[in-house]
Amino acid sequence: MRFVSLPEIDMDDRAFEVRKFASSTRLRESLARFGILDPPWLRKKGCEHIVVDGFQRLRWAKEHEARGAVCRIFPEDCDARELWTQKIEKKIFQREIDLAEKAQIISTLLRLFQPEEIPGFFLSDLKVANRQEVLRKWALLSATGPETLELLASGAIAERAAIEAAGWDKRSRDSVFHVLQALRCSSSIQVEIVEHIDEIAIRDEKAGADIIEDPQAREIVESKELNHRQKTQALREFLAQLRHPRLSSRQKRFQREIESLGLPSDVKIIPPVAFEGGNWKMELSFTGPEGLRRILDSAGSLVESDRLDAIFKTAGSHGRD
């Protein structure tokens, strides 16, 4: 540990950098109040030093015209793999890392080790399965370029959705990521959207971008009248219709048939999943005994009539496509 002046440090050598694409306001506030508390790591390189850890702190020091900083110095012959191992260990346990950093770390581990040699505790702490296909997808995300990594670092894209789309062509991956960013929907819905696009693209032998850039899909996402929730639901319905056209058609017809019955608004008839099987349900909403009696009275005549026959007769003949 010793003080190193900034001219002694080669700030352009980024061999050990894991880029931080999301701005760290908290770090800059801390640096402004107290200066550098955590000494950067340097490695000797001839008569200079290269940065191993602490790129942002040293850039801050340079911006503020500091003379230098107290740093931890590693000798020039220190093994690069050992340095990376220590750096990754520090980064994982220092704070929660974003998806862009995670992708870069896993890509670095694959550079340093054979997949079967990667220390198990790293992958365990990163919550990543030690399977070659999974690791390959993380490496693909790391290679997507600054714009995509910045988007991943923003937190707008769910981890599983990012992994599902990692192997897509660049146009398709960028298209779906920007749509997910615009919709701001939950992780599970993001995965549903990505999976539907992938399934449709494989079936129709198209690129994923051809699906998400369809004029109807684009109209939904760019609508000025719909809010985020409405856009998300409309896009889900559009993709579901493309993925399961017969089932979607059956659902729409069922909805029209139910509406034609004139059921009270407090009564819902729920068909079996995908209209398969005979387990139908009726859902009643009421606030007390009188409300229940009123609903039963109004629905009773309908149940006793033959107006439901058409719905039940055709239901069994239309399943999944």
Give the residue from 155, 181, 200 where a domain finishes.
155
Our count of domains for the chain comes to: 4
Q: Is the same domain home to 208 and 196?
A: yes
The two structure tokens encoding residue 35 = 């200066």
Give the residue from 243, 277, 306 where a domain finishes.
243
Q: Of 84, 85, 35, 82, whose CA–CA distance to 60 is shortest?
A: 35
Q: Of 48, 50, 123, 122, whose CA–CA distance to 80 is shortest?
A: 50
Query: What is the pLDDT at residue 319?
Result: 46
Let me know if residue 248 belongs to a domain. Answer: no
Classify the C-alpha dihedral 261-264-266-267 as positive or negative.
negative
Give the residue from 155, 180, 202 where a domain finishes.
155
Query: Cα(74)–Cα(102) distance, rounded to whole angstroms?
Result: 25
Share of the chain above pLDDT 70, in %: 90
pTM as predicted: 0.75
* pLDDT score of 82 more than 90: yes
Let me know if residue 131 belongs to a domain. Answer: yes
What value does the mean pLDDT take over residues 166-180?
95
The mean-pLDDT minimum among 190-194, 208-212, 272-276 falls in 272-276
* pLDDT score of 273 more than 70: yes
Rounded to the nearest integer, the mean pLDDT of the chain is 88
What value does the mean pLDDT take over residues 195-207?
94
Q: Is the same domain home to 45 and 110?
A: no
123 in Cβ contact with 129 (< 8 Å): yes
Which residues, at least 6 apart from 271, have a Cβ–Cβ distance to it below 8 Å?
254, 280, 315
Provide the CATH number for the domain around residue 39: 3.90.1530.10
The two structure tokens encoding residue 143 = 């290679």
Q: Is the same domain home to 8 and 70?
A: yes
Let me know if residue 254 belongs to a domain. Answer: no
Q: Is the same domain home to 69 and 104?
A: no
The residue ranking higher by pLDDT, 204 or 284, is 204
Let me know if residue 14 belongs to a domain. Answer: yes
Neighbours of 215 (CB within 10 A): 7
Let me know if residue 60 belongs to a domain. Answer: yes
Let me know if residue 251 belongs to a domain. Answer: no
Query: Cα(2)–Cα(270) distance, rounded to whole angstroms?
Result: 72
Q: Is the same domain home to 58 and 3?
A: yes
The mean-pLDDT minimum among 140-144, 227-231, 253-257 falls in 253-257
Q: Is the same domain home to 175 and 233?
A: yes
Q: Is the same domain home to 304 and 269?
A: yes
**Type and span of the H or E element at 192:** helix 187-204
Q: Is the same domain home to 54 and 107?
A: no
Let me know if residue 308 belongs to a domain. Answer: yes
The residue range of the domain holding 6 is 1-78
Q: Is the same domain home to 72 and 86?
A: no
Let me know if residue 252 belongs to a domain. Answer: no
The residue ranking higher by pLDDT, 24 or 303, is 24
Query: What is the pLDDT at residue 21?
Result: 87
